[in-house]
Amino acid sequence: MDSSNDEALDIIVTNVVATFRTRCHLNLRTIALEGTNVIYKPEVGKVLMKLRKPMITASIWSSGKIICTGATSEDEAKLGARRLARCLQKLGFKVRFSAFKVVNVLAVCSMPFAVHLIDFTKNNRPIASYEPELHPAATYRIKNLKATIQVFSTGSLTVTGPNVQNVATAVEQVYPLLFECQKPLCK
Protein backbone atom coordinates (compact mmCIF):
# COMPACT_ATOMS: atom_id res chain seq x y z
CA MET A 1 0.00 0.00 0.00
CA ASP A 2 1.79 3.16 -1.13
CA SER A 3 1.51 6.25 1.00
CA SER A 4 1.91 9.74 -0.30
CA ASN A 5 5.66 9.49 0.32
CA ASP A 6 8.21 7.62 -1.74
CA GLU A 7 8.62 4.77 0.70
CA ALA A 8 5.82 2.24 0.89
CA LEU A 9 4.55 1.44 4.36
CA ASP A 10 3.81 -2.19 5.09
CA ILE A 11 0.35 -2.49 6.54
CA ILE A 12 -0.05 -6.06 7.72
CA VAL A 13 -3.61 -7.21 8.38
CA THR A 14 -3.47 -9.54 11.36
CA ASN A 15 -7.13 -10.26 12.07
CA VAL A 16 -10.46 -10.01 10.30
CA VAL A 17 -13.71 -10.60 12.19
CA ALA A 18 -16.84 -11.43 10.20
CA THR A 19 -20.36 -12.56 11.02
CA PHE A 20 -22.99 -14.42 9.06
CA ARG A 21 -26.26 -16.25 9.62
CA THR A 22 -27.44 -19.72 8.72
CA ARG A 23 -31.15 -18.88 8.84
CA CYS A 24 -31.90 -22.04 10.75
CA HIS A 25 -31.65 -23.33 14.28
CA LEU A 26 -28.50 -25.31 15.04
CA ASN A 27 -28.29 -28.13 17.54
CA LEU A 28 -25.03 -27.50 19.36
CA ARG A 29 -24.83 -30.97 20.83
CA THR A 30 -24.98 -32.58 17.41
CA ILE A 31 -22.22 -30.32 16.20
CA ALA A 32 -20.13 -31.09 19.26
CA LEU A 33 -20.64 -34.81 18.77
CA GLU A 34 -20.18 -35.14 15.06
CA GLY A 35 -17.67 -32.40 14.33
CA THR A 36 -13.93 -32.62 14.81
CA ASN A 37 -11.92 -29.62 16.05
CA VAL A 38 -14.91 -28.53 18.07
CA ILE A 39 -15.13 -27.21 21.63
CA TYR A 40 -18.54 -27.13 23.25
CA LYS A 41 -19.15 -24.47 25.91
CA PRO A 42 -22.55 -25.20 27.43
CA GLU A 43 -22.18 -22.55 30.13
CA VAL A 44 -22.00 -19.81 27.53
CA GLY A 45 -24.24 -21.60 25.05
CA LYS A 46 -21.90 -21.73 22.08
CA VAL A 47 -19.62 -24.02 20.15
CA LEU A 48 -16.12 -23.09 19.00
CA MET A 49 -15.11 -24.66 15.74
CA LYS A 50 -11.64 -24.31 14.28
CA LEU A 51 -10.84 -24.70 10.61
CA ARG A 52 -7.39 -25.49 9.37
CA LYS A 53 -7.15 -24.26 5.83
CA PRO A 54 -7.89 -20.65 6.37
CA MET A 55 -6.88 -20.58 10.04
CA ILE A 56 -10.23 -19.54 11.42
CA THR A 57 -12.04 -19.94 14.69
CA ALA A 58 -15.80 -19.69 14.58
CA SER A 59 -18.22 -19.17 17.47
CA ILE A 60 -21.51 -20.85 16.66
CA TRP A 61 -24.70 -20.08 18.51
CA SER A 62 -27.83 -22.15 18.40
CA SER A 63 -29.81 -19.26 16.90
CA GLY A 64 -27.74 -19.66 13.75
CA LYS A 65 -25.52 -16.62 14.22
CA ILE A 66 -21.85 -17.30 13.64
CA ILE A 67 -18.78 -15.13 14.23
CA CYS A 68 -15.54 -15.97 12.40
CA THR A 69 -12.21 -14.67 13.64
CA GLY A 70 -8.59 -15.23 12.69
CA ALA A 71 -8.60 -14.63 8.95
CA THR A 72 -5.90 -12.44 7.42
CA SER A 73 -7.98 -10.91 4.64
CA GLU A 74 -11.60 -10.19 3.84
CA ASP A 75 -11.73 -12.77 1.07
CA GLU A 76 -10.19 -15.38 3.29
CA ALA A 77 -12.83 -14.64 5.89
CA LYS A 78 -15.54 -15.17 3.31
CA LEU A 79 -14.02 -18.42 2.15
CA GLY A 80 -13.70 -19.68 5.69
CA ALA A 81 -17.29 -18.70 6.46
CA ARG A 82 -18.56 -20.53 3.41
CA ARG A 83 -16.54 -23.58 4.33
CA LEU A 84 -18.04 -23.52 7.73
CA ALA A 85 -21.56 -23.22 6.37
CA ARG A 86 -20.89 -26.13 4.04
CA CYS A 87 -19.62 -28.17 6.97
CA LEU A 88 -22.76 -27.49 8.94
CA GLN A 89 -24.81 -28.41 5.88
CA LYS A 90 -23.10 -31.77 5.74
CA LEU A 91 -23.86 -32.32 9.38
CA GLY A 92 -27.49 -32.24 8.41
CA PHE A 93 -28.70 -28.70 9.05
CA LYS A 94 -30.66 -26.74 6.44
CA VAL A 95 -28.10 -23.98 6.19
CA ARG A 96 -28.46 -20.95 3.94
CA PHE A 97 -25.39 -18.73 3.85
CA SER A 98 -26.65 -15.20 4.35
CA ALA A 99 -25.88 -11.77 5.82
CA PHE A 100 -22.12 -12.14 5.58
CA LYS A 101 -20.49 -8.99 6.89
CA VAL A 102 -16.95 -8.10 7.83
CA VAL A 103 -17.26 -6.43 11.18
CA ASN A 104 -13.72 -5.56 12.22
CA VAL A 105 -10.25 -5.51 10.73
CA LEU A 106 -7.09 -5.27 12.82
CA ALA A 107 -3.82 -4.25 11.20
CA VAL A 108 -0.34 -3.31 12.36
CA CYS A 109 2.08 -0.95 10.75
CA SER A 110 5.52 0.35 11.60
CA MET A 111 6.79 3.85 10.98
CA PRO A 112 10.45 4.21 10.12
CA PHE A 113 10.78 6.80 12.86
CA ALA A 114 9.92 7.17 16.52
CA VAL A 115 7.09 9.46 17.57
CA HIS A 116 6.99 12.04 20.33
CA LEU A 117 3.60 11.19 21.81
CA ILE A 118 3.14 14.28 23.94
CA ASP A 119 3.60 16.62 20.98
CA PHE A 120 1.36 14.46 18.83
CA THR A 121 -1.42 14.60 21.41
CA LYS A 122 -1.06 18.33 21.92
CA ASN A 123 -1.30 19.01 18.20
CA ASN A 124 -4.32 16.81 17.68
CA ARG A 125 -6.59 17.32 20.64
CA PRO A 126 -9.34 16.18 21.17
CA ILE A 127 -9.09 13.53 18.46
CA ALA A 128 -5.97 12.13 20.09
CA SER A 129 -5.73 11.17 23.75
CA TYR A 130 -2.77 9.94 25.75
CA GLU A 131 -2.71 8.81 29.37
CA PRO A 132 0.68 7.29 30.11
CA GLU A 133 -0.53 5.95 33.44
CA LEU A 134 -3.23 3.89 31.78
CA HIS A 135 -1.82 2.77 28.43
CA PRO A 136 1.56 3.36 26.79
CA ALA A 137 0.07 4.36 23.43
CA ALA A 138 -1.77 7.44 22.27
CA THR A 139 -5.23 6.75 20.82
CA TYR A 140 -6.37 8.57 17.71
CA ARG A 141 -10.00 8.06 16.68
CA ILE A 142 -11.14 9.02 13.20
CA LYS A 143 -14.90 9.43 13.43
CA ASN A 144 -15.88 9.43 9.78
CA LEU A 145 -13.85 6.33 9.02
CA LYS A 146 -14.81 4.72 12.33
CA ALA A 147 -11.18 3.76 12.75
CA THR A 148 -9.06 3.76 15.89
CA ILE A 149 -5.30 4.05 15.70
CA GLN A 150 -3.02 3.36 18.63
CA VAL A 151 0.34 5.04 18.26
CA PHE A 152 3.29 3.79 20.28
CA SER A 153 6.35 5.89 20.90
CA THR A 154 8.55 3.45 18.99
CA GLY A 155 6.61 4.27 15.83
CA SER A 156 4.48 1.11 15.73
CA LEU A 157 0.79 1.52 15.02
CA THR A 158 -2.15 -0.78 15.50
CA VAL A 159 -5.23 0.19 13.50
CA THR A 160 -8.76 -1.18 13.83
CA GLY A 161 -11.55 -0.35 11.44
CA PRO A 162 -14.64 -1.79 9.76
CA ASN A 163 -12.84 -2.87 6.58
CA VAL A 164 -9.42 -3.00 4.98
CA GLN A 165 -9.95 0.08 2.85
CA ASN A 166 -10.80 2.22 5.86
CA VAL A 167 -7.75 0.95 7.68
CA ALA A 168 -5.48 1.90 4.80
CA THR A 169 -7.08 5.33 4.50
CA ALA A 170 -6.70 5.86 8.22
CA VAL A 171 -2.96 5.14 8.06
CA GLU A 172 -2.60 7.53 5.15
CA GLN A 173 -4.45 10.21 7.07
CA VAL A 174 -2.39 9.87 10.20
CA TYR A 175 1.02 9.55 8.55
CA PRO A 176 1.64 13.29 7.98
CA LEU A 177 0.57 14.06 11.54
CA LEU A 178 3.04 11.55 12.88
CA PHE A 179 5.75 12.71 10.54
CA GLU A 180 5.74 16.21 11.97
CA CYS A 181 6.04 14.89 15.53
CA GLN A 182 8.83 12.48 14.89
CA LYS A 183 11.60 12.00 17.38
CA PRO A 184 15.19 11.56 16.24
CA LEU A 185 16.20 7.99 16.91
CA CYS A 186 19.25 8.59 19.06
CA LYS A 187 19.14 11.17 21.85
**Does 34 sit near other proteins (CB under 8 A)?**
yes
Contact 84, 56 (CB under 8 A): yes
The candidate with the shortest Cα–Cα distance to 35, out of 110, 76, 86, 103, is 86
Q: How far is the CB of 34 from other proteins (least distance, A)?
A: 5
Q: How far is the CB of 173 from other proteins (least distance, A)?
A: 21
Sequence-ordered list of residues with C-beta below 8 angstroms from that of 121, at least 6 positions apart, any chain: 128, 129, 130, 138
Of the pair 104, 154, the CB lying nearest other proteins is at: 154
In this structure, how many other beta carbons lie within 10 angstroms of the beta carbon of residue 127?
A: 15
Q: How far is the CB of 110 from other proteins (least distance, A)?
A: 7
Of the pair 23, 90, the CB lying nearest other proteins is at: 90
Which residue in the set 5, 25, 98, 112 belongs to the binding site for other proteins (CB under 8 A)? Answer: 112
Contact 53, 40 (CB under 8 A): no
Of the pair 99, 185, the CB lying nearest other proteins is at: 185
For residues 146 to 185, the per-residue mask of contacts with other proteins, x marking binding by CB under 8 A and - elsewhere, is ------xxx------------------------------x
Write the CA distances from 83 to 10, 33, 41, 167, integer angstroms. 30, 19, 22, 26
Q: How far is the CB of 45 from other proteins (least distance, A)?
A: 19
Distance in Å from the first CA to the final CA of the chain: 31
Which residue in the set 20, 93, 97, 130 belongs to the binding site for other proteins (CB under 8 A)? Answer: 130
**Which residue type, as a one-letter code, is found at position 122?**
K
Write the CA distances from 35 to 39, 56, 88, 108, 151, integer angstroms. 9, 15, 9, 34, 42
Residues that bind other proteins (CB under 8 A): 10, 12, 14, 33-37, 49, 51-54, 72-79, 82-83, 86-87, 90-91, 110, 112, 117-118, 121-122, 125-126, 129-134, 136-137, 152-154, 185-187
